[in-house]
Structure 1
Amino acid sequence: MGYEWISRNKELYNLLKEYYQDELEKFLLWTEEKLKPAIRVNTLKITPEELKERLENQGFTLKRLNFYNEAFYVEYAPFEIGKTIEHYLGYYYVQNISSMIPPLVLNPQPHEMVLDIAAAPGSKTTQMAQMMRNTGVIIANDVAVDRIKALSNNVDRMGALNVIITMVEGFKFGFWFKNSFDRVLVDAPCSAIGTLHKSYEVAKWWGYEKVGKLTRTQKGLILAAFDCLKPGGTMVYSTCTITPEENEAVINFLIEKREGVIIEEFDIQGIKMRK
């Protein structure tokens, strides 16, 4: 099914063929796989050990992630992992593993000022809140009403008390909050090729014209985010896609437009990095 939708979209298929080359077949098979769900423990409310015991008593089998002690794979689920009382109580967040990485790289500290410039639905916002132990301030911003509702619900469910939610166009932060934040996360809207294993909707609409519109948004957000940083501050730019136009080219655009940009490598034990 996935191969069929991807092969119909010639622009997308040719991009994947150019990018993955001999590994294209492996990627296409990956889009057909049903990946194990993962959960991030909300340490504001419960410890990983306590949650593991509660869920295993209900028949779930959990395996700790090798790079993040506060998260588990769900190896076996007797029913949907998002329908437990513990989930409704905000004891954990059902979250893709890749989604957990940007906050770990940004590494927000207690009592800092942090901006999540494109925050909905809130997985990364609430992860940062627990990393900061509910201290400091996180401004969690998005632009669409329905996305703000999801963000608000998740912030409330997870008990993230240090979060202030705003709904403005992200590029305005560069004017309003210049040199104000210790750290900024730009999890930019993108063409979402990395989500093909969850849904083939991307294959139905993906095209370079759409990518061009997204890159204009991404470039506006990354400039605003950089302008928001205090001197010496840290920013993480992330997407869930592979196109150079939405990743490397956006970083290069920032370097061309702003002085003082320093690109740093990072290393998280247990995660294979591609250079």
Structure 2
Amino acid sequence: MKVFIDPDGDIEEIKEAFRLINPELYERLLKIDGSDEFFRYMVKPLRVSVRVNTLKAEVDEVVENLKELITGRVPWCEEGFYLSIDEFSRIPEHQLGLIFSQEAASMIPPLVMELEPKMTVLDIAASPGAKTTQIAQYLQNEGCIVANDVKHSRINILISNLQRCGVLIAKVTVKDGRYFGRFRNRFDAVLVDAPCSNMGMIRKNYRNIRLWKMRDCYGLSKLQKSLLMAAYKAVKPGGVVVYSTCTLEPIENEEVVDYILRNTDAEIEEVNLPVKGVEPFTKFDGKEYSEEVRKCLRLHPQSSDTEGFFVAKLRKP
């Protein structure tokens, strides 16, 4: 049965469409938020956003060239802009690597990693490379990035994007991310942009409504905990580990961070950016999490008009 979703339709019709397409997801979303505004934004078309690649161009120069397409600036990222076009084949700046198509919320993790030139950084699940190329521009192409992904099928697009953006300091590896736990205290900063159930990406593709399954979340949560633990082992004392997902599911977000807080000496820090989120869960579905998870950033689609997103900033003492 095909179900049509009209983002401008009646809110009860939108909710009913969710219920018909995936009843299990609908019931889960009611627990996570459930407000009319939440469901309205879950199907509202996502704004097109790009990041200017300062490895190849100055921000002001690109802004001048694209001024007729720019509709606004991403408040939390100086290089981030909203565009009125999504056909990037028509934009030479995209083909030349002067801009990178990247969702506005996705720009947040590298911004809180406290990156400086000459650092050694691990991106544990790097493909397709949006955050990897962003990390490289904050390092000013000085230092080293280990850009890892477990799937051979995703490596070619990662390498292509690194080359297009002029990244010279990335070493691409194909490993299970948990492998890096053996490299104790080696990296100045680590990013774990973890594989997840993509609940937050429904605005980008309605297909994610049908694909979501609760049973997948349990397996992903176990993997995410292992990846984050490996990252924490690999970061140097004083270094930062950033954990992010594009899902709203608490067992993939707050529960994963709670696991690290309870099993290591990790300290969690606030995400200090001009972005509006919602209160993270300290209790959900019969489980209780550390009060410290309140310092995480939880973005629901309506809070800052982005995809659903989650960010935690951890530091090794």
Shared fold, TM over 0.5: yes
Matched, 1:98 2:120: no
Q: Aligned equivalents of 2:169 and 2:33: distance in 1?
A: 42
Q: Aligned equivalents of 1:111 and 1:180: distance in 2?
A: 14
The amino acid that maps onto 1:130 is: Q
Matched, 1:213 2:219: yes
2:27 corresponding residue in structure 1: 14
Any stretches of 5+ residues in structure 2 without a counterpart? 6-13, 280-317
Cα deviation, 1:230-270, whole Å, max 9, x if unaligned, reads 11111011111111100111111112322x2111112112x
Give the secondary-structure state (helix, strand or coil) at the position aligned to 1:190.
coil
The amino acid that maps onto 2:244 is: S
Q: Aligned equivalents of 2:130 and 2:43: distance in 1?
A: 25
1:155 corresponding residue in structure 2: 162
The amino acid that maps onto 2:61 is: E
Deviation at 1:274, TM superposition (A): 2.6
The amino acid that maps onto 1:40 is: R
Cα deviation, 1:187-213, whole Å, max 9, x if unaligned, reads 000011110001122221212211111
Q: Aligned equivalents of 2:206 and 2:219: distance in 1?
A: 21
1:143 corresponding residue in structure 2: 150
Cα deviation, 1:172-227, whole Å, max 9, x if unaligned, reads 1001x211001000000001111000112222121221111111110110110000
Q: Aligned equivalents of 1:180 and 1:195: distance in 2?
A: 33
* CA 262–82 in structure 1, closer or farther in 2 if over 3 Å, else same: farther
The structure 1 residue matched to 2:73, chosen from 48, 59, 64, is 64
Residue correspondence of structure 1 range 191-270 to structure 2 within 5 A: 191-258=197-264, 260-269=265-274
User: 260-269 vs 166-175, which deviates more?
Assistant: 260-269
The structure 2 residue matched to 1:73, chosen from 82, 93, 97, is 82
The answer to whether the 8 A contact 1:188-1:237 is kept is yes
Give the secondary-structure state (helix, strand or coil) at the position aligned to 2:267.
coil
TM-score, normalisation: structure 1: 0.92
Q: Aligned equivalents of 1:196 and 1:41: distance in 2?
A: 25
Q: Aligned equivalents of 1:231 and 1:168: distance in 2?
A: 24
The answer to whether the 8 A contact 2:43-2:206 is kept is no
The amino acid that maps onto 1:44 is: L
Q: Aligned equivalents of 1:67 and 1:261: distance in 2?
A: 26
Q: Aligned equivalents of 2:163 and 2:42: distance in 1?
A: 33
2:173 corresponding residue in structure 1: 166
Q: Aligned equivalents of 1:201 and 1:116: distance in 2?
A: 28
The amino acid that maps onto 2:266 is: V
Q: How many residues align?
A: 266
TM-score, normalisation: structure 2: 0.80
Give the secondary-structure state (helix, strand or coil) at the position aligned to 1:67.
coil
The answer to whether the 8 A contact 1:139-1:166 is kept is yes
Q: Aligned equivalents of 1:172 and 1:120: distance in 2?
A: 17
The structure 1 residue matched to 2:38, chosen from 20, 27, 49, is 27
Any stretches of 5+ residues in structure 1 without a counterpart? none
The amino acid that maps onto 1:69 is: E
The answer to whether the 8 A contact 2:70-2:81 is kept is no
User: 132-141 vs 102-111, which deviates more?
Assistant: 102-111
Give the secondary-structure state (helix, strand or coil) at the position aligned to 1:106.
coil
Q: Aligned equivalents of 1:217 and 1:45: distance in 2?
A: 36
Deviation at 1:35, TM superposition (A): 2.3
Q: Aligned equivalents of 2:187 and 2:70: distance in 1?
A: 40
